[in-house]
Structure 1
Amino acid sequence: MTDDNRDSVATSSTDPNCGDPSDGDRDFLWIKVKDFPYTCQEIDTKRRIAVANGTKGFLTIPTDRVKGIECGKVLGSYNYWLYAAEKVPAYYTAHPELVGLGVNSAESRKQDQLHIHMAAFHPEVKEDLGKIKTPVTDPAKWTDPSAIFPIRGRDPKNGDLVTRNYRVLWLKALDQNLFWLLDQNVARSPDNMKLQTMVSIPGLNGLWVLNSQGTLPGGNGTGTCDYLLACR
Structure 2
Amino acid sequence: MSLKIVPTPIGNLEDITLRAIKVLSSVDLILAEDTRTSGKLLKHLDIRQPMQSYHIFNEHKQVEKLVERMKAGENMALISDAGTPAISDPGFLLVRACVEAEVEVECLPGPTAFVPALVNSALPTDSFVFEGFLPVKKGRKTKLEQLKEESRTMIFYESPHRLLKTLKEFAEVFGEDRRACVSRELSKMHEENVRGTLSEILANFADRSIKGEIVIVVEAFNPKRTK
Q: Verify same fold: TM over 0.5.
A: no
**TM-score, length-scaled by structure 2:** 0.28
**TM-score, length-scaled by structure 1:** 0.28
Larger Rg computed on CA atoms: 2
